Amino acid sequence: MSILQVTDVNKRFGGLQALDNVNLEVEEGAVHAIIGPNGAGKSTLLNCFVGRLVPDTGAVTFNGRSLLGIKPHEINQAGVSRVFQTPEIFEELSLIENIMIPAFAHRDGAFRLNAWNIVTGEKEIREKSEHILEDVDLIEKKDMLAGSLSRGDKRRLELAMCLVQDPKLLLLDEPTAGMSRADTNNTIDLLKRIGERKITKIVIEHDMHVVFSLAHKISVLAQGTVIAEGLPAEIKGNPKVQEAYLGG
């Protein structure tokens, strides 16, 4: 069963056709990789899934519901979370505070204070947030300021901010960009571990080692069009894919 369906999506920026009739179907529980050269339209496509951009034409359906014309926070409430290409965290807050904020936001849509100005359900949310920090191996740093983390740790923190919202669909835009090989391998293990088959994941990735370690299915985007799609083994030897990467 597919959880996300993208049908004939087009997006133009002035004279540039950034997405050109894109069709995509993401199976529930799968890790679906979207690969392709720089400027292929990968981030633009993800932006159409989270309400940051609206396609000029076409349809995006999540769990049978259209995502077009819905506000980003409503899409998030519906179960779609995204890890950005550049981590979006609260640098001046501690790690645990960074996780608790999206946990509250997801639960209530906004903070809810009782008569004593205490956030309701704080204890349970703190415990859940600590569990998630354990999952991403950041529990020892929970009281540090997020701004003081290394790049790899910041990305893990951002991932934790998504996980605390119990997403059904997790979108990862280049989750290992700028990481060392060791950090990349840690992230691969982490992504394999989290959610197992319960969280569907769409991963945009340059690093082929990451793609072939994680993906069940791969779609190749070039110049705004899906030029190939299939199992990792099918994509590996596909001459059209090699040509796109060589800029042929």
Query: Would you tell me which residues interact with ligand ADP (CB under 6 A)?
Result: 13, 16, 18, 36, 38-44
Closest approach, Cβ 204 to ligand ADP, in A, equals 7
Q: Are 28 and 3 in contact (CB under 8 A)?
A: yes
* Closest approach of Mg ion to the CB of residue 72, in Å: 18
Of Mg ion, ligand ADP, none, which one sits near residue 81, judging by CB under 5 to 8 A according to partner kind? none
Comparison of 34 and 133: residue with beta carbon closer to ligand ADP: 34
Q: What are phi and psi of 144, to 5 degrees?
A: -75, 160
- Cβ 85 to Mg ion, closest distance in Å? 6
Closest C-alpha to 20, from 248, 183, 221: 221
Which one of ligand ADP, Mg ion, none is in contact with 79 (Cβ closer than 5 to 8 A by kind)? none
Alpha carbon 238 to its chain's center: 26
Of 36 and 79, which CB lies nearer to ligand ADP in the complex structure?
Answer: 36
Q: What is the closest distance, in whole angstroms, from the C-beta atom of residue 203 to ligand ADP in the complex?
A: 13
Nearer to ligand ADP, 32 or 168 (CB): 32
Among 92, 98, 82, which Cα is nearest to 167's?
82
